[in-house]
Amino acid sequence: MGAQDNIKHDDKAVAHTRRTLEESDQITETVERSMRLLAVIGRVVGWAWMLMLVIATLQVDVGANRVIVIGSMVLATVWTVFSMWAARSRRIFGSLQFVVTDAIVILLVGAASWAADAENLFHGGYLIPTLAVAAYGLNLFGATLIAGVIAVEQAAILFSWGEGPVPALSSLGFILWGIVFGWLFATIRKTDAYRRATVDELMVERESSVRKSERLQLGNRLHDSALQTLLVIDNDAGDPDRVRTLARRQSRELRNLVDVYASGTSVTLKAELVRVAGEVEDLFDVSVSAVIRADPQMDDTLSALVEAAREAMTNAAKYSGSNRIDLYAAVEEDTVAIYVRDEGRGFDLDEVSEGHGLEHSIRGRVREVGGEVCIGSKPGDGTEVKISAEAARGST
């Protein structure tokens, strides 16, 4: 497995890790949304319950203050609608301001029966869902505290009506509801937190495994290439041409290996230029000195530039008469520019036909992607080919 294949494998592992973390976040948001939905559903059910009792009170209890009765129903309706809107946001629904305001509204609705001088409580089950709201925003302690306040209010109203201790003590049921909701929401969140911690541990282990795999692959790569080449060079020390060829090939291999691992991406401009330069070196027994100061990820435009640069180096190796070629690449004002230079015999541009590997192989490729080719050469003064095109946004 080559270095680029290793990087691709690691990229897949990183992408899988990222997806896993995103899915974990989505699960947490689903859990939180479900708890808010439970509170809102309870509020809507409580509102419908209260509406039936208010209608019955208006029809049966002629002594009840109709303005207060209707006003409490309007308040409950408005707050129910606002609660449904607030439940869309975890930040709003779980804020201290919302929980406190919710408790105040509930206390007003709970006291409306006493203020209207009604014969019976007509708020029905509208008070209970506020304990779910308190449990969501303040957990067990906050839900129990607000439940205690509501219980005291309701018990006081019943005592003021001359009810016995048994009906008043039934108000303690609010405290029970507060404990139930507080415990339920706290348990759900604790379980989700444990799940997230488990996922995080697995991701840490996966990342550690990837790093170990990278080190092992790098060690194997160095053993299979560098060490083996050094052994061959040691055995063939008496053949300078053979040693020079092996050293040049190994230098390119190590440079490519370092570039690939350092870039963290599967294919980049630097890696591709080093690769094609090495192919030209092997094919024509020349030395390509590469200085590459741009390393964007490859795309169709850069692929065309690399192929054009390959053709320019091939022409230099075949026709210049020089055994050294200079390759330089950089980003110049959002434009990727590749220079191929040699100090060979050069040529007269006016006398060279367009079929001299220039028009189709170099200019044709570059023009197709909106780039430009500039060639400078004089007989006896070498040749310089500049290949350039606008870089894709975000690639440099």
Predicted local confidence at residue 69, as pLDDT: 95
Domain ranges, ordered by start, for the chain: 3-201, 236-390
- What is the pLDDT, as a whole number, of residue 13? 55
Measured between alpha carbons, how far is 284 from 140 in angstroms, rounded to an integer?
79
The structure's pTM equals 0.54
**Domain 236-390 CATH assignment equals 3.40.630.30:** no
d(CA 49, CA 36): 20
Strand, coil or helix: what is 379? coil
Please report the pLDDT score of residue 272 as a whole number: 86
Of 275, 329, 289, 310, the residue nearest 4 (C-alpha):
275
Residue 2: predicted pLDDT: 45
One-character DSSP codes across 150-208: HHHHHHHHHHHTT--HHHHHGGGHHHHHHHHHHHHHHHHHHHHHHHHHHHHHHHHHHHH
Along the 396 residues of the chain, how does pLDDT read in single tens digits?
A: 444 444 444 555 556 666 766 777 788 888 899 999 999 999 999 999 999 999 999 999 989 999 999 999 999 999 999 999 999 999 999 999 999 999 999 999 999 999 999 999 999 899 999 999 999 999 899 999 999 999 999 999 988 888 777 777 788 889 999 999 999 999 999 998 888 888 888 877 777 776 776 676 666 655 555 665 666 667 777 777 767 776 776 676 676 666 656 655 557 888 889 888 887 887 788 888 989 987 888 888 998 999 899 899 988 988 899 999 999 999 887 899 999 999 999 888 777 655 455 656 788 889 989 999 999 988 888 999 999 999 776 555
Helices (H), the chain: 3-60, 66-86, 90-93, 96-115, 129-160, 165-169, 173-222, 228-235, 240-263, 269-284, 300-319, 365-368
Going by the DSSP 8-state scheme, the letter that residue 333 receives in this structure is S
Output the pLDDT for position 235: 74
User: Which pLDDT belongs to residue 362?
Assistant: 85
Spatial CA neighbour of 337 closest among 389, 376, 379, 381: 389
Q: How far is CA 190 from the centre of its chain?
A: 25
